[in-house]
Amino acid sequence: MAAALPAGVDGLCGLWIDESGSARLALAGPDGRRETTRDSFRPFAWLSTPPVDEPVAGISIERLKGEAVFHRLAHGDSPAQLDAFIAMARQSGQVDAIWPLESQYLVQRRARLYSGLGFGQLRRCQLDIETGSADGSFSDAARPEDAVLAIGLRCGGRDRTLVLEPSDPDGERRLLEGLNAVLAEFDPDVIEGHNLFKFDLDYLRQRCRRFRVPCAWGRFGQEASFRRSRLKLAERWIDFPRCDLPGRAVADTYLLVQLHDLGARAMASYGLKEAAVHFGITPEGREGRTHLEGPRIHEAFRSDRGRFLAYLADDLRETAGLAGLLLPTYVEQARSFPILLQEAILRGTTGKIDLLFLEEYYHARQACPAPPAIGPFEGGFARSFRAGVFRHVLHFDVASLYPSLLLQIGRNPVNDRLGVFIPLLSRLREYRLRCKLLAREAETAEMRAEYQARQASFKILINSFYGYLGFSGARFGDGELAAEVTQRGRELLQALIREFEANGCAVLEADTDGLYLSAEAHFAASGALLERVARILPPGIELEFGGQYQAMFCYKAKNYALYDGARIILRGSALRSRGIEPYLKRLTDRMIAFLLGAAAESPLELLKETRRRIADRTAPVAELARSEILGQNPEAYEQFVAAGGKPRRAAAEAALRLSPRPRMGDRIAYYLAVAESGQNADWQRARPVSGHDQAAAPYDPAAYLAKLDDWLERYGPFLGVKAEGGVQGDLL
């Protein structure tokens, strides 16, 4: 056992606060070994009013400096004592505390996880399971006859595959016990997997419960804990059974991929195989990748064990590749915030930034404000100036526009009495610029990649400071300051538009901090154009060249396509919605490639052929099916409908027909069946694709032909075609 962690010591790679309040630490040694130790810790909470005047055993209370809602700070000798005191304090006033307790410890010690460790020094373990069912259907952990067939683990170059022995009546129990032993041996800092929460770990939990095997997957001899959780991704929620491992982090690449795609929304699927291709981990044609359809996995386990194990090994390889690309950003956040890695992945930006402020206020013993109310204010300038196809396109944007404007204004939020906001933003920006320089100039490729991850993480962080100001749940929010920033941003972007136009450019698209413009005269000398235009910018505001493109298709505001001569880049949900029916997506992709000059074949022949195949029902139902992500669990939807709720939703109705039922956040593919008498609405005709029966419930050709007419009405003008009463169309 190592000595307790003094302030400033690097190498903290695991942390857990036990029931007594003792901090249990895992430390990385210079040789890569992991040692465990303990440290003292006193949990704390801020109070608006002390619940009692007389002293309480095990509780100390301080009066804080300044005037704010939370002007008392309570410390407890143990979590149980503080919890009891908080329950009493809530009866007479407000209480605010940092959760989980591990973040309190990091705040109290001014410590950070993984400090002094490069990403390559983390012990990362990829985990994947393969399961089987007796009847060949999708495996269900609740069915006694189904089973875990194999568990694959990969950690630091070491592979371990645990395989079920079918002839052993205790085979699955031994398999689960073997997992506990391997995790204890590998002692990873992070366990990575794809759909780890909703499938692998939850399946293992249910099988462990069946065979009375403890889920001993944590450090310090601790078992896993599970609870229902939700993650908000833009406009939708994902419902999942969260798993927490004392002293370790769980990183689900299924969630990491979706978090990455929030801005670009360029991915059609978040499945492991598709994501691996998208990120270049597996070749486009999937050469060398062992492939097994779900129903064939159990069969391969029985009759082609080599192929089965190769498939499992490829899953681990792809998971490691995805995590290697997407996890460094969150590891850097854990190095920067007083937060666990798993919390860094699952928690929103506002809560992370709050921790930085609370750390300063805690150590300064300064009273803390409550989050203020934030009224509505006007956002950034966004406008589409032209529609159609344009050549010789240049892209310029203002580097970190809103953070730069905040630093230029130089004013802290109104309730930041310590004046933490602007100095902190300035330090983070300087650190990011240093990392950006080192990402180009560091001696080794490994160090360049490390600094690239750091600068990318800090770019996200400093850009979030503006959003924090305008968020109603932010403790140091300031709507007036946020409104001033957006006003200056709009004025600056409009000034840039006027200057580019004065230099003979045709502005195509403007959005908050960036511009696309058609500029044939400047296409070969974009640097000179940038230098001329940037002269109008105030000090501290920098204009950057974002790229050049042979062509751009402008459809409508925030929806466009770019072609750089090698690849097509889509922006906006109208052109790349993941829910669009595959036959319409294929048409749209063909049209965009044709308009941009990336392909010679017009989509009109494909349109004609698609219309014929739908009319004679030779088009497969999978090409026609729409897919949507469930916004609520089926049970909640049933209650909503029973209470008279409207509107009824096609995807939710299709989900009610599935067994087992999907959960909120799952994607459902459905088609429209031929309408029965009096049932013409989409929600009445929606059927899950997995249950398609061409004889009993065929798809409705008329519905899908009508969608082709709608497609032609939207895009026909760009092709020189108009729709005429449900036929293919005429040339304009």
- Over 177-240, what HEC string results? HHHHHHHHHHCCCEEEECCHHHHHHHHHHHHHHHHCCCCCCCCCCCCCEEEEEEEEECCEEEEE
Mean pLDDT, all residues of the chain: 92
Do 430 and 463 share a domain, yes or no? yes
Angstrom distance (rounded) from CA 115 to CA 112: 6
Angstrom distance (rounded) from CA 115 to CA 104: 17
* pLDDT at site 435: 87
pLDDT tens profile 96-131: 999 999 999 999 999 999 999 999 999 999 999 999
Residue 293 lies in a domain: yes
Q: Is the bond into 371 cis (omega within 30 degrees of 0)?
A: no
36 close to 26: Cβ distance less than 8 angstroms:
yes
Do 392 and 518 share a domain, yes or no? yes
Cα–Cα distances in Å, from 296 out to 162, 285, 305, 609? 20, 21, 12, 33
Q: Report the percent of the chain where pLDDT is more than 70.
A: 97
Do 38 and 163 share a domain, yes or no? no
List the beta bridge partners of residue 27: 12, 35
Angstrom distance (rounded) from CA 114 to CA 337: 11
Number of H helices, E strands in the chain: 24, 26
Do 229 and 263 share a domain, yes or no? yes
Whether pLDDT at 728 is above 60: no
Residue 615 lies in a domain: no
Q: Looking at residues 365-391, what average pLDDT do you find?
A: 95
Do 200 and 249 share a domain, yes or no? yes
pLDDT tens profile 317-347: 999 999 999 999 899 899 999 999 999 999 9
Do 105 and 171 share a domain, yes or no? no
Whether pLDDT at 579 is above 60: yes
Residue 348 lies in a domain: yes
Last residue of a domain, one of 540, 555, 571: 571
CATH of the domain at 452: 3.90.1600.10
Do 491 and 554 share a domain, yes or no? yes
Per-residue tokens: 360: 């300063």
* pLDDT at site 9: 55
Number of domains in the chain: 3
137 close to 118: Cβ distance less than 8 angstroms:
no
Residue 616 lies in a domain: no
* pLDDT at site 574: 84
514-518 and 559-563 beta bridge pairing: unpaired
* pLDDT at site 729: 39
Q: Looking at residues 297-319, what average pLDDT do you find?
A: 95
Residue 345 lies in a domain: yes
Whether pLDDT at 175 is above 50: yes
Whether pLDDT at 617 is above 70: yes
CATH of the domain at 100: 3.30.342.10
* pLDDT at site 499: 98
Residue 40 lies in a domain: yes
Do 34 and 171 share a domain, yes or no? no
Do 50 and 138 share a domain, yes or no? no
Q: Looking at residues 381-387, what average pLDDT do you find?
A: 95
Residue 693 lies in a domain: no
Q: Looking at residues 715-719, what average pLDDT do you find?
A: 95
Q: Looking at residues 384-412, what average pLDDT do you find?
A: 95
Last residue of a domain, one of 571, 599, 626: 571
- What global pTM score does this model have? 0.86
Domain that holds residue 215: 119-333
Angstrom distance (rounded) from CA 253 to CA 459: 22
Angstrom distance (rounded) from CA 381 to CA 398: 13
Q: Which of 360-374, 484-498, 617-631 has the lowest mean pLDDT?
A: 617-631
Long-range contacts of 28-35, Cβ-Cβ distance < 8 Å, separation of 24 or more: 28/117, 28/121, 29/2, 32/121, 34/123, 34/187, 34/189, 35/1, 35/2
pLDDT bin (cut points 50, 70, 90) of residue 725 is very low
Do 298 and 215 share a domain, yes or no? yes
* pLDDT at site 565: 96
List the beta bridge partners of residue 687: 671
Residue 87 lies in a domain: yes
CB-count burial class (<10 Å; 0-12, 13-18, 19+) for 385 = middle
Q: Report the percent of the chain where pLDDT is more than 90.
A: 75
Cα–Cα distances in Å, from 650 out to 235, 269, 376, 670? 18, 20, 33, 8
DSSP annotation string for 44-101: EEEESS-S-SS--TTEEEEEPBS-SSB-EEEEESSHHHHHHHHHHHTTTS-EE--SSH
Do 82 and 147 share a domain, yes or no? no
Do 256 and 179 share a domain, yes or no? yes
DSSP annotation string for 249-271: EEEEHHHHHHHHHHHH---S--S
Angstrom distance (rounded) from CA 696 to CA 338: 58
CATH of the domain at 159: 3.30.420.10
* pLDDT at site 43: 98
Last residue of a domain, one of 527, 556, 571: 571
The label of the residue with tokens 């061409």 reads 694
Angstrom distance (rounded) from CA 439 to CA 569: 25
Element (H, E) at 357: helix 349-364
* pLDDT at site 663: 81
Per-residue tokens: 691: 């249950």
506-511 and 382-384 beta bridge pairing: antiparallel
Angstrom distance (rounded) from CA 341 to CA 240: 18
* pLDDT at site 4: 41
Q: How many CB atoms lie within 10 A of CB 205?
A: 17
Cα–Cα distances in Å, from 169 out to 145, 164, 165? 12, 10, 8
